[in-house]
């Protein structure tokens, strides 16, 4: 029996590389297998630059593929897209220029910058196309949302677009309406957090996790700006130290020394008052952000979606549902649905339901059939 060519998904995280194999079927996908490789934190810290991890992670993928009984025939590879320049939502075909941008001139340092290079490396070995889908630099903000109050620092979009759009599609399907007609608030609550407003299928506003965002297990989120300026110039920290403190060691970690919310909840159950205060403050900030996104949608949303790792927590879900259900019905889609969303994007292109954008993506730019 010949086996259908599968779609390989690659999702590089700070200390993990997640893989999936999916069978495409007329623009949809069925999961075949998924795996997460946990990389040693010290080993990852030994790489000076994210780009230096390429070989190491490529080796991990080769090992994953070698474990598939009977081998695997691939038809396409879809990688998580990184901190690119602003792009529309959708699928982008990986080419050399995109790989060079992601490796050498990304807007910010982030493991997702390796999604395109890794996808290309595997795709080349198999002679198949490579894509990225809904990268974190998806920017659908209207002009009014870009005005920050200081012309040199306009607001911009970095958002968990892949999971947020996948959850939006799922809600739209459940409601029997097209995604393009969906209005919803999505709270992606992972190690980093994005709270976003989807209006007619477009992410028209989001908390931008290091701009005006709630804090999260490891990100400081938005901070009091005048004291932050003082701290920057105080000489207390170097640029790199302060960036690390706010970005990977901020939020819950800065207060409690852990990024694992299960541990935090266990400490609260054991009577730890500081843990309880920090947890409550984070939920309080989530509620404020969800309310702000509901306001962006004129309080006319089809639903509020709670998703990401923290949506596994009954305490988080209960607290947010109680605080937000007056705004719209609350739907809980725990975990991230990124692998399936990556595969579905590639499958839509392979089935001809959608065309891929070509990099560099310019307004009204070229789309290519693959
Ligand atoms: N059952 C749970 N209860 C509470 N928190 C959880 C649970 N499962 C995962 N988390 C928390 O979710 C966060 C990770 O979310 P996830 O979406 O997996 O992260 P990432 O941003 O790395 O993809 C961690 O802080 C983790 O402790
Ligand atoms: C903007 C989303 C990119 C991302 O994955 O951010 P976190 O690392 O904060 O989850």
Q: Which domains does the chain have, with CATH numbers?
A: 6-143+338-368 (3.30.420.40), 177-334 (3.30.420.40)
- Ligand having the closest approach to the CA of 252: 1
Rounded to a whole number of angstroms, the distance between the first and last alpha carbons of the chain is: 26
Low-confidence ranges of the chain (pLDDT < 50): 1-2
Secondary-structure breakdown of the chain: helix, strand, coil percentages, each rounded to the nearest 5: 45, 20, 35
Q: Which two tokens stand for residue 296?
A: 């962006």
Return d(Cα 268, Cα 202) in angstroms, integer. Answer: 38
Please choose, from the candidates 288, 314, 291, the residue with its C-alpha nearest in 3D space to the C-alpha of residue 304: 291
Q: 341 is written with which tokens?
A: 């969303």
ipTM over 0.95: yes
Residue 225: half-sphere exposure toward Cβ, Cα within 13 Å: 5
* Token pair 């996948």 in the structure block, residue: 166
Beta bridge partners of 91: 133
So what's the pLDDT on residue 362? 75
**DSSP alpha helix (H) spans, 50-141:** 54-66, 96-104, 115-126
Contact 129, 123 (CB under 8 A): yes
Measured in angstroms, how far is the CA atom of residue 193 from the centroid of ligand 2?
7
Q: Note the residue count of the chain.
A: 370
By the 8 A CB rule, do 168 and 305 touch? yes
**Residue 24 Cβ < 6 Å to ligand 2:** no
Query: Distance between CA 137 and CA 250 in Å, rounded?
Result: 22
E-strand ranges in 172-278 read 184-189, 193-199, 202-206
Ligand 1 site, CB within 6 A: 13, 190-192, 217, 259-262, 265, 308-310, 312-313, 336
């Amino acid at each position: 029996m010949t086996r259908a060519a599968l779609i390989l998904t690659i999702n590089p995280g700070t200390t993990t590389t997640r893989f999936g194999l999916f069978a495409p079927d007329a623009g949809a996908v069925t999961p075949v297998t998924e795996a997460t490789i946990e990389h040693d934190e010290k080993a990852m810290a030994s790489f000076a630059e994210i780009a230096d991890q390429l070989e190491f992670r490529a080796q991990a993928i080769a090992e994953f593929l070698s474990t598939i009984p009977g081998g695997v025939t691939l038809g396409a590879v879809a990688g998580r897209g990184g901190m690119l320049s602003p792009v529309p939502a959708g699928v982008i075909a990986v080419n050399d220029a995109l790989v060079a941008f992601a490796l050498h001139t990304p807007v910010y340092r982030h493991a997702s910058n390796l999604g395109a290079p890794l996808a290309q490396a595997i795709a080349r070995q198999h002679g198949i196309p490579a894509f990225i889908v809904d990268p974190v630099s998806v920017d659908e903000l209207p002009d009014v949302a870009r005005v920050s109050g200081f012309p040199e620092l306009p607001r911009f979009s970095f958002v968990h677009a892949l999971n947020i759009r996948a959850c939006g599609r799922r809600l739209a399907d459940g409601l029997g309406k097209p995604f393009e007609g969906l209005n919803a608030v999505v709270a992606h609550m992972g190690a980093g957090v994005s709270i976003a407003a989807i209006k007619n299928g477009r992410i028209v506003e989001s908390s931008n996790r290091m701009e005006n965002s709630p804090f999260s297990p490891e990100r400081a989120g938005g901070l009091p700006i005048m004291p932050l300026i003082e701290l920057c110039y105080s000489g207390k920290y170097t640029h790199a130290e302060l960036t690390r403190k706010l970005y990977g060691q901020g939020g819950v970690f800065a207060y409690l020394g852990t990024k694992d919310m299960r541990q935090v909840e266990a400490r609260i159950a054991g009577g730890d008052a500081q843990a309880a205060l920090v947890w409550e403050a984070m939920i309080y900030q989530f509620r404020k952000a969800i309310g702000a996104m509901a306001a962006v949608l004129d309080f006319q949303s089809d639903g509020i979606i709670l998703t990401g790792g923290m949506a596994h927590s009954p305490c988080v879900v209960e607290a947010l549902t109680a605080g937000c259900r007056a705004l719209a019905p609350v739907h809980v889609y725990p975990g991230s649905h990124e692998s399936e969303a990556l595969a579905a994007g590639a499958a839509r292109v392979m089935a001809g339901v959608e065309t891929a954008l070509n990099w560099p993506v310019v307004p009204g730019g070229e789309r290519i059939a693959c």
